[in-house]
Amino acid sequence: MIKILAVEPGQGGVLAQVLAAFHLDFDTIHTSNFERSLEQLRERAFEAVVVDVTLGDDAWKLLAWLQKERPHVGRFALLPEDSAELRVRVADLGVIDCMVEPFDATDVLVQLTSGLAETCFGFLHNINLPAFLQLLEIERKTCTLRAESAGRSGRMFISRGEMLDARVDGVSGEAAAFAIIGWLSGNVHVEHGCFVAERTLQKPISHLLMSALQYRDEAGLNGSADGDIDEMSFRRLQESLVPLKSELPPVPRLPSFLARLPKTMTLFHGSLGLALVDAETGLTLAAEAKPPIDMIQWAESAATVLRQEYATLATSSQDTDLMELVVTTGSCCELIKPLPKRPRCFALLLFDPDETNLVMARIEVDRWVNEHA
């Protein structure tokens, strides 16, 4: 159960009512001022706090207090309008994401669950830094790392498994990333969110790790002038990049949830599974399937295919919308249909080509989208 504190004006709060209506994995408590919010935060443990900035000074005081006293709690902001100035101000206070009125229930769910699932928080003592970075890449996590080793401190900014920037001793970019990776081990503070104005790194984390370690190997294994090189063979450094997950401290993460479609909703003849999926994260928002179909795995795979297709279109000169994708195998057809009203989401239908056809599949998906999405 994900505990959320919704701080909004009024008696019930619009967001609190939206979340309560889903009866899913959210336990939502509503407050409307700074003092009452502090009482709740001191009495209970919350995974997330959503603050409406229209509360004025109370909102800004609460966000500042959370940043200082409860940095492990995920912070979200409700904005009356999509203002760049407001987004910058709340980002400085550690806000993971912003929701803009009027609220769309599905979008709110996606932002909360994906924002909390992607970010992580904690303190890791004497961690194998290259191995931990590799795990963040695999898990597509979002966070800011403050690494400490031998009296030095540096920061790495990670967004969905990609390193956007690194900073140490007044240096940023690849040189800073190489320096921090070269420490090999140390203490790491994992902070919520990735707040960096400019991306200076374009390579995947795995490439950065190999390049950094190769650079250290070429520079010499017995240390350098800045003392960054650990006395460890390059072979052991390479082996440290592929540790067993059981050997690593657990990465904090929230449990995923699967919301069932309405009971009145049934799969039509020939269909094997149906899902509503967030295109950016592969998160399954709702699904129904015939055993042994695992729609969560199918959804993650479909999201990857869709993102790749969007990337291909972005590099082409064609100005066109992606209407659908169809993937066919010998025993199953996969229909991936982006939702025009919700660009972040798509419908995924699996069907048996021996039992139905693509025309009927399109009709059924369109009908389901109109009724439920």
Domains of the chain, earliest start first? 2-118 (3.40.50.2300), 122-247 (no CATH), 259-372 (3.30.450.30)
24 and 259 Cβ atoms separated by less than 8 Å: yes
Do the Cβ atoms of 154 and 147 come closer than 8 Å? yes
Predicted confidence at residue 163, as pLDDT, reads 92
Give the pLDDT score at 94.
81
Give 6's strand partners: 30, 50
User: Residue 60: its pLDDT value, please?
Assistant: 94
**Residue 25's pLDDT is what?**
59
| Whole-angstrom distance, CA of residue 226 vs CA of residue 214 | 17
Give the span between the Cα atoms of 95 and 119, in whole angstroms. 11
Distances (CA, A) of 247 to 7, 127, 206, 250, 313: 40, 11, 19, 9, 41
> How far apart are the C-alpha atoms of 75 and 67, rounded to whole Å?
9
* Residue whose C-alpha is closest to residue 31's, from 57, 4, 1, 69: 4
What is the pLDDT, as a whole number, of residue 264?
A: 41
The CA distance from 168 to 175, in Å, is 9
Q: How many helices (H) and strands (E) does the chain have?
A: 11, 17
pLDDT per residue as tens, the chain (373 positions): 678 888 988 877 777 776 666 545 577 888 989 999 999 999 888 878 999 999 999 999 999 998 888 877 888 888 888 888 888 888 888 887 888 877 666 667 667 766 665 555 566 777 778 878 887 887 777 788 888 888 888 999 988 788 999 998 888 888 889 888 888 777 888 877 776 767 889 888 888 888 887 776 665 544 433 444 343 433 443 444 333 333 333 333 333 333 334 444 467 788 998 888 878 777 777 778 888 888 888 888 888 888 888 888 777 766 677 889 998 877 789 999 998 777 678 899 999 888 888 888 888 888 877 776 5
Distances (CA, A) of 111 to 76, 181, 312, 351: 9, 31, 25, 30
Residue from 48, 168, 155, 64 nearest 108 by CA: 48
Contact between residue 91 and residue 114 where contact means Cβ atoms under 8 Å apart: no
